[in-house]
């Protein structure tokens, strides 16, 4: 019997994402000056106020206030009527030195024996149901809000848009877990006050979403996904009505409160650790990227139609205490007996192919580089690898790869190992 699955996303102007972006901007500035910096930066935002707090161990000297203001300004909170304004909000800095008790567990004489910055388990997931190897409901939810932000920044259409927004997409799946159709699209977008009745205002917003936003998103999708946009979709546009008050004035925001939006939209699994504001010695972040890298390459290589990879650590210990893989019964790789490999056999091969000690992950994925600001909105996974050019502390410009955990650079090795 067909079933429904739903995922949501939030825009860069959502208060929790404002907090995430501030935390990652501060992290990037520390890494720009000191690639070995240990950073755990948390942010709180509310009405015309931003607080940054956390623990730092670094030789860098970072003035947090201009970074906070520039991040808020870039998002689009630059008008007094928003009641959260980059130029006027109070900024409080409570960053302090990292505990030496934590640091002694991470730093080792031999760099490759660097211990995990904390205990815990991290998950990576991938599925072949979308071009990005992401769950389709989440992929579409992100795309809707990314395009809405492009329209808002362009300033030519939907000129009433404000930065805060949320989306949600429900997909109908067949018995064999294939997307059949989009069942429901929900979009709530903050907007300017209209010189019109609420009914007229909502009618215009809904019309613009249906005739401007959704067609633009649909045009960028594959033919197969476009076919899922049927005339039977239920659209709920600003279903509560007027949405003028939003952002950190409408709701306080905290770093790390959108971890499901950041990962797989409720599919697969999540270990519970947030990403933004944390340097890569924190395996909450680096190992989550590493397991996504593994899962995506496994699926892309044809080992399975979907894969979930879990890794677990003890604080201060380099070698993982456990590795788990499940393919949900979709394994395509065969063993010597001609039968599909078990998940345990797949995990053994993954252990041979990928070094999951924290130092090895950081080196493989280039996670000491100032590349994290781009991750703090529209998902850490499923993004397109690219580059960013940064002026370093000595004035030299360097170019770094971004979203390295999304690269399909292990496909050939995996095919060889699994004889595919």
229 burial (CB, 10 Å; 0-12 / 13-18 / 19+) is middle
Q: Is 129 annotated as a binding residue?
A: no
User: Is 165 one of the annotated binding-site residues?
Assistant: yes
The sign of the CA dihedral 4, 10, 15, 20 is positive
Q: Is 172 annotated as a binding residue?
A: no
User: Any known ligand binding at 290?
Assistant: no
- 98 is an annotated ligand-binding site residue: yes
Angle at 361 between CA 360 and CA 367, to 5 degrees: 115
Answer yes or no: are the C-beta atoms of 402 and 381 closer than 8 Å: no
Q: Does residue 65 have a known ligand-binding role? A: no
Residues sharing a CB contact under 8 Å with residue 2, sequence separation 6 or more, in sequence order: 172, 173, 174, 175, 180
312 is in an annotated binding site: no
Integer CA distances (angstroms), 111 to 115, 177, 233, 357, in order = 9, 44, 54, 11
DSSP state of 395: S
* 79 marked ligand binding residue: no
Distance CA 31, CA 35 (A): 4
- Residue 258 counted as an annotated binding residue: yes
Q: What is the side-by-side order of every strand in the sheet holding 179-191? A: 3-10, 161-173, 179-191, 234-237
Q: Does 25 show up as a binding residue in the annotation?
A: no
Per-residue burial over 109-118, b = 16 or more CB atoms within 10 Å of its CB, e = otherwise: eeeeebbbbb
Q: Is 190 known as a binding-site position?
A: no
Is 104 one of the annotated binding-site residues?
no
Q: What is the dihedral of CA 277, 281, 285, 286, to 10 degrees?
A: 140
Upper half-sphere CA count for residue 121 (Cβ side, 13 Å) = 13
- Tell me if 49 is assigned to a ligand binding site: no
Is 398 within any annotated ligand binding site? no
Name the residue with tokens 């000297």: 61
Nearest of 290, 329, 328 to residue 310 by alpha carbon: 290
Please state the residue numbers annotated as binding site for L-methionine. Answer: 55, 98, 251, 282
Please state the residue numbers annotated as binding site. Answer: 14, 16, 42, 55, 98, 164-166, 242-243, 251, 257-258, 274, 278, 282
Please state the residue numbers annotated as binding site for Mg(2+). Answer: 16
Please state the residue numbers annotated as binding site for K(+). Answer: 42
Please state the residue numbers annotated as binding site for ATP. Answer: 14, 164-166, 242-243, 251, 257-258, 274, 278
């Amino acid at each position: 019997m067909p079933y429904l699955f739903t995922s949501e996303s939030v825009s860069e102007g959502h208060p929790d994402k404002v907090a995430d972006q501030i935390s990652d901007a501060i992290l990037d500035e520390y890494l720009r000056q000191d690639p070995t910096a240990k950073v755990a930066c948390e942010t709180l935002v509310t009405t015309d106020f931003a607080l940054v707090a956390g623990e730092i161990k670094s030789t860098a000297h970072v003035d947090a206030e201009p970074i906070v203001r520039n991040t808020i300004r870039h998002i689009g909170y630059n008008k007094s009527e928003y009641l959260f304004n980059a130029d006027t909000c109070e900024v409080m800095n409570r960053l302090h030195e990292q505990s030496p008790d934590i640091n002694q567990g991470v730093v080792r004489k031999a760099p490759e024996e660097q211990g995990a910055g904390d205990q815990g388990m991290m998950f990576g997931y991938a599925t072949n149901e979308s071009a990005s190897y992401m769950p389709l409901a989440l992929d579409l939810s992100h795309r809707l809000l990314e395009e809405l932000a492009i329209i808002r920044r362009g300033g030519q259409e939907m000129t009433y848009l404000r930065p805060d927004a949320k989306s949600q997409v429900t997909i109908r799946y067949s018995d064999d877990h294939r997307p059949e159709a989009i069942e429901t699209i929900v979009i709530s977008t903050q907007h300017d006050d209209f010189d019109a009745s609420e009914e007229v205002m909502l009618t215009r917003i809904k019309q613009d979403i249906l005739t401007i936003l959704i067609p633009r998103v649909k045009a960028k999708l594959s033919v197969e996904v476009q076919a899922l946009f049927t005339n039977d979709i239920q659209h709920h546009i600003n279903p509560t009505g007027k949405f003028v008050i939003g952002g950190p004035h409408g709701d306080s925001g905290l770093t790390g409160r959108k971890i499901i939006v950041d990962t797989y939209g409720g599919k697969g699994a999540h270990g519970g650790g947030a990403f933004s504001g944390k340097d890569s010695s924190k395996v909450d972040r680096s190992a989550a990227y590493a397991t996504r890298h593994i899962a995506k390459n496994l699926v892309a290589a044809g080992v399975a139609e979907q894969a979930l990879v879990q890794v677990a650590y003890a604080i201060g210990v380099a070698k993982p205490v456990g590795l788990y893989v499940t393919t949900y019964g979709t394994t395509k790789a065969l063993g010597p007996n001609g039968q599909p490999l078990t998940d345990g056999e797949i995990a053994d091969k993954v252990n041979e192919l990928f070094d999951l000690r924290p130092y090895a992950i950081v080196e493989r994925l280039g996670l000491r580089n100032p590349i994290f600001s781009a991750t703090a909105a529209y998902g850490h996974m499923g993004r397109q690898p690219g580059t960013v050019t940064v002026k370093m502390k000595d004035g030299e410009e360097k170019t770094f790869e971004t979203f390295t955990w999304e690269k399909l650079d292990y496909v050939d090795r995996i095919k060889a190992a699994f004889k595919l």
